[in-house]
Structure 1
Amino acid sequence: MQFKNIVGHQELKQHLISTVAENRVSHAQLFLGPEGSGSLALALAYAQFINCEHRLENDSCGTCPSCIKYDKLIHPDLHFSYPFFAKHKDDTATTFIEDWRKAFLENPYMSLGHWRNQLEAENKQANINIAEAHDIIKKLSLKSFEAEYKVLIMWLPEYLDTQGNALLKLIEEPPAKTLFLLVAENQDKILNTIISRTQLVKVNKYSHEELMQYLIDEKGIEANRANEISFIAEGNIQTALDQIAEASNENFNLLIRWLRCIVTDAGLNIIQICDDEISKLGRENQKLFLMYSINVLRQIVLLNQGLHELVFLKNAELDFVQKFSEITTLEKLETAIDMLEKTHYSVERNANPKILFLDLSLQLVLLFKYNTFPKGTQYI
């Protein structure tokens, strides 16, 4: 992975390059950025640049033996750690390394949900277990095979839990020429003892323009559609890719029919949509539908407040949000968005979809049809 292959982040790339040129490479760094921001790809490109045998001014050469092995993720001094769904207590990241290489090479911007879909995860919870922590200590205690630096890239250290304590001494006092590159999305879920031992590298989410241009140039998406997807994705390339994979009008049509049933309190139709359609989408598609719905409601908020210049939707979707903005209030929209976000959280934790979406629908009926706000609602 070379820097030139990663979308955007020009200033950050230059900063990383300068740390190598000025011999200021910290032995433990935390790449902190939201899902789909390319932080994992950046960490790998940084490691490749550090170990490149014929470095260019602004990138690795891409042709030396080290770069070729890095491109295939098979360099003997490059190690990965990541959450996995253990079938046995002795399973480590190495158990799933072939699946990992395939998933990353196909999509270097992947999310945990995308990674989960590559495995037979069933209902298991992702984690980085104690066996993995011990395996890391064992691997990094060995001498380098051929590169100047041994590198461990740990994706999502949030899933270490208390097992991370076994790595503290190694992170604080690693063997010579050993680099820890931790790639995280949520700082609040990382052990403070690990954060205090790392140098922070902040990775910002992509701008609307950067993501839109990526979709046009790299994915061949028509400009209007790329504009719409970029808005819905909110800087998350993984979400944008998921949107591309979806039928273009599928979520929109489902959302319109669902909301029409809600605002008219069509009870039997609500039950039918929840049971026969939404609950059968599958967990990842349910999450996409909820995110799409949240973003459409945010567009309605903008129209409701007269901020027409910030609205990106086009054609039928724009017509829908214009009409809906005329029959609702800011207070209702804020409450509905909060409900949808909480439902998204519950879907991630494998709640029963039929019960979950029926309950959400009934709460929205009370909100939009009868102006009844749920107890405990916080208003802005």
Structure 2
Amino acid sequence: MEALYRKYRPKNFDQIIDQLQAKLVLQNAIVKDKVSHAYIFTGPRGTGKTSVARVLAKALNCDNRVNYEPCCQCENCISIDKGIHPDVIELDAASNRGIDEIRRIRDAVGFRPMLGKYKIYIVDEFHMLTREAFNALLKTLEEPPEKVTFILATTNLEKVPATIISRCQVIEFKNFTESDIAENLLRISSIENLKLHENAARLIARRAAGGMRDALSYLEQVASYTLNGIITVESVEKALGLLPSEIVDRYIDYLLNGNFIQIDELIDRIFIDGYDVYQLVQSAIEKIEERISQKPSERLLKVAQGLIEISKELRFVENKKVICKILSMNLAATNQKTLEQTAPQIEQIIVPTEQTHESRDRRPDDKSQPEQSLQIEEILNWIKEEKDLSIYVALVQSRISQKNNTVEISFLPSQRFQYEYLREKILELEYLFKTKAKKDIVINIFIDEEREKRILQKLQENFPGKIRIEE
């Protein structure tokens, strides 16, 4: 069975979706007989670069062309569609990147076309050629024989030497819009007798991130999963292993409302069910972008910015679950306004830096403030700005105090994963404190069970009859 993205590859310019720049430039060049000797097609994957290259090859070699459109019925058009035309040579530079392959092309360009009018060389991912191969291609690109056209496709134009770019016409391909992808998916589904729901088509389009080929591959995968059933949003989520929408919405709501325990339980449940927490954050970014577009607010923007920072951190760490928990709970802490207003006397569970008992007992007029708290705050800001954001996030959820050259970092029993994380980083943590403080520092990290009991007792006092402590 032929893959959908190959079966519905555009056969002429009229079938090419969007990409107006590419179509106008190439159509005018064909009509005016001013086709360049070398083109660079650059853009994201799955945006039609190779498909447009084949359409151009057919238009140049078609026996019955009308203006710029190939007939798609003559021998040249059919053989190009099948990939067997002797004058249209396709080369994958990812697997043929050496100087020998380019030398063979250089030796072959001198021969006249065998069947068509033009000899076309389509080199895909040509940015992966070696430096020697690029150098061997330079002279051929600058002065190719008559009736020879190079079409060089790449997803990374920045890796192409400037000497190559200066010898070619560069045509940029852009991502397809979600509406264009969804519309095409619905059209193809009707042809294939697939019952695709419109919302499901939009979800696939969003997941494809602008690539039509990816979208068609996803559609094929979902169709295999649902067999003869209706393709809904739920079936797309299950077939592609996406997180259910309600879980993502719940995660965002927890962040906005400062629900620490619920965030902890939600991430644990996601991990147990086999989902990727990085995907949770990415889906949350997309969801909150929708909320912002519907009703912008400062809180939504702050959470969106925090989610972006979490996404960046998760890309380069191994224990994504722990880091996602720490960063998510810290983000939720910034939105915990309700608890602070209703119970201002309750001791805060999460604080950036906290004074020791001795410093809290000082009178307001006592000007002999200790220097330790200020130093710790400076160290925390330094770690946040220049060193390790993950360590900073774990630190701000602890209680920090200093006694001479010893820094005590305590956590509640419910913050065990932050405690374990910093225990693993204790050598690095001591090094950071020593570097900033310019003296020897000993770090002591421990679980403070007594502090949790005091917090629970205060909760009982402030909310009589509503808080129960189980031994």
Instruction: Tell me whether the two structures share a fold, i.e. TM-score over 0.5.
Output: yes
Tell me what 1:225 maps to: 200
C-alpha change, 1:219 and 1:165, in structure 2 (3 Å) is farther
Q: Secondary structure at the match of 1:61?
A: coil
Please list, as runs of the form range in 1=range in 2, the aligned pairs for 1:90-105 lying within 5 A after superposition: 92=96
TM-score between both structures, scaled by the size of structure 2: 0.55
Q: Give the C-alpha shift of residue 307 in structure 1.
A: 1.8
Counterpart residue identity of residue 122, structure 2: I
Equivalenced residues, count: 294
Structure 1 CA distance for aligned equivalents of residues 308 and 243 of structure 2: 22
C-alpha change, 1:224 and 1:267, in structure 2 (3 Å) is closer
Tell me what 1:198 maps to: 168
- Residue 59 of structure 1: which of 69, 72, 91 is its match? 69
Structure with greater contact order relative to length (CA < 8 Å, sep ≥ 6):
1
Compute the RMSD of aligned alpha carbons: 3.3
Structure 1 CA distance for aligned equivalents of residues 280 and 19 of structure 2: 26
For the Cα contact (< 8 Å) 1:30–1:183, is it kept in 2? yes
Q: Give the C-alpha shift of residue 294 in structure 1.
A: 2.1
Tell me what 1:300 maps to: 288
C-alpha change, 1:292 and 1:265, in structure 2 (3 Å) is closer
**What does the per-residue CA deviation read over 1:330-375, in whole Å, with 9 as the maximum and x for residues that have no partner?**
33112123245x35xxxxxxxxxxxx6x422222111012459794
Tell me what 1:13 maps to: 23
Counterpart residue identity of residue 156, structure 1: E
Structure 1 CA distance for aligned equivalents of residues 203 and 111 of structure 2: 50
Does residue 365 of the first structure (1) align with residue 325 of the second (2)? yes
- Residue 183 of structure 1: which of 123, 129, 153 is its match? 153
Counterpart residue identity of residue 306, structure 2: K
Please list, as runs of the form range in 1=range in 2, the aligned pairs for 1:51-200 lying within 5 A after superposition: 51-85=61-95, 92=96, 128-162=97-131, 163-200=133-170
C-alpha change, 1:80 and 1:270, in structure 2 (3 Å) is same
Q: Secondary structure at the match of 1:45?
A: helix
Q: Give the C-alpha shift of residue 71 in structure 1.
A: 1.3
Counterpart residue identity of residue 65, structure 2: R
Please list, as runs of the form range in 1=range in 2, the aligned pairs for 1:259-338 lying within 5 A after superposition: 263-264=263-264, 277=274, 294-303=282-291, 306-308=292-294, 329-338=303-312
Q: Secondary structure at the match of 1:151?
A: strand
Give the number of the structure whose alpha-carbon radius of gyration is greater.
2
For the Cα contact (< 8 Å) 1:232–1:295, is it kept in 2? no
Q: Give the C-alpha shift of residue 272 in structure 1.
A: 5.2
Q: Secondary structure at the match of 1:334?
A: helix
Q: Secondary structure at the match of 1:335?
A: helix
Structure 1 CA distance for aligned equivalents of residues 187 and 280 of structure 2: 23
Q: Secondary structure at the match of 1:154?
A: strand
Percent identical among aligned pairs is: 24
Any unmatched runs of 5+ in structure 2? 1-10, 191-195, 223-234, 255-260, 332-351, 353-383, 390-471
Counterpart residue identity of residue 366, structure 1: I
Any unmatched runs of 5+ in structure 1? 86-91, 93-127, 279-285, 311-324, 344-355
- Residue 216 of structure 2: which of 241, 253, 261 is its match? 241
Tell me what 2:49 maps to: 39
Find runs of 4+ consecutive structure 1 residues off by over 4 angstroms: 254-262, 265-273, 289-293, 325-328, 371-377
- Residue 40 of structure 2: which of 1, 24, 30 is its match? 30
